[in-house]
Structure 1
């Protein structure tokens, strides 16, 4: 990391206050880090989780992806998401195409991070599923929180800054906890102790045995897992309130 990049990271952490909205974000990918396949976000504001966002992303160049079929098949086993050239993938209803509309999607993502609940209830676009758990006001002060230590090599940071045009907005969750409480969270059980199948797609994944449900890497599940652990530590909350008061039309998967 250059001195300038390190300074940017430190300054961003220093700017965080009790008015900052925390956006927990997780990408899944077909062939790390070139092909993002799924995005899940959880927005924390007013001391609680107020909204989530979930959608799929499809690459425009499937021929190029087929050249790295082994990597794609490995990621398919962990995410459960079909390969992009399959008929099943069309039922994921992806909202943006890789290398074509990711900059445009970046603007929709910023709107999710900053807009009020009343604005978000008007919808962000086709195939973007937004859930709202409580009413909240507009807030332009936000950061993305991820669990990786090296922000410059983190896949979320690479996709946000390199593909969506959202730069210098990613902070490690433990850096924030260290600043305020001298605490560090551990995430070794994030795949087994989280709530499973938060999104409509993974709820309907075939052969969903208890073992399979716990190893699937659902981007929304993981974003919510991080957000819930953070809220309990940062705000000293015992129970997370996640009663949905508004939801876009849910993406339904037929197998």
Structure 2
């Protein structure tokens, strides 16, 4: 089969997009080419282009550290007990049926680590009948991420077994990265409100983040009035990279260059004339 000169050039550009780091201009050109398609198809195209694996790499199941549960901690004397203060248990309950998966929202803050990192998990259930005898600890304890035994820059899945359930983490550990906290303030909203979707992606390292997506995270996507959005989002972004925020309706995304500290605010106009101000704040413990 013979290819015209234009077709050869286009194929070479696609190969470059798949194999090497992208520039911000590459990302914007690709988004413009995709145009207005339904959000699910748009996300699949982004995943395919960025080489995001369809399923995370499975780590071996992990067990809580001995004596690390909230109930047994006082009965043990481990080296890290003196330097670590357990957080308070949240009193906000989420209703679910027996056997369901409970999708947890993205964290209210990220985890920064210079060397090793201790992760605390404490998830409990309360019986809907109000009888405390039906309350259970699903997963309660701590596990550690050891720098020398961790896989970097790879989408991974970790399963932590508990007494009455299990917790599954989908995570990536990045080197030399900073924490992006994303806040939204809606300045103009149609009278009857509207639903939104939002994802993020980076250019150089080709990372994809599902922020507001009914298939991958539980989040109230309906905006009924002006004001601050009820949830904010956290993403790890490598230094020297650019974070793009895309509302997945076919318009161009807004971009934020990673920084050690500080914040930047930009406005985005929806096609229904709604207006949102997006603020990205940068932070890290590495510098």
TM-score (norm 1): 0.26
Q: Which has the higher Rg, Structure 1 or Structure 2?
A: 2
TM-score (norm 2): 0.24
Higher relative contact order (CA 8 A, sep 6+): 1
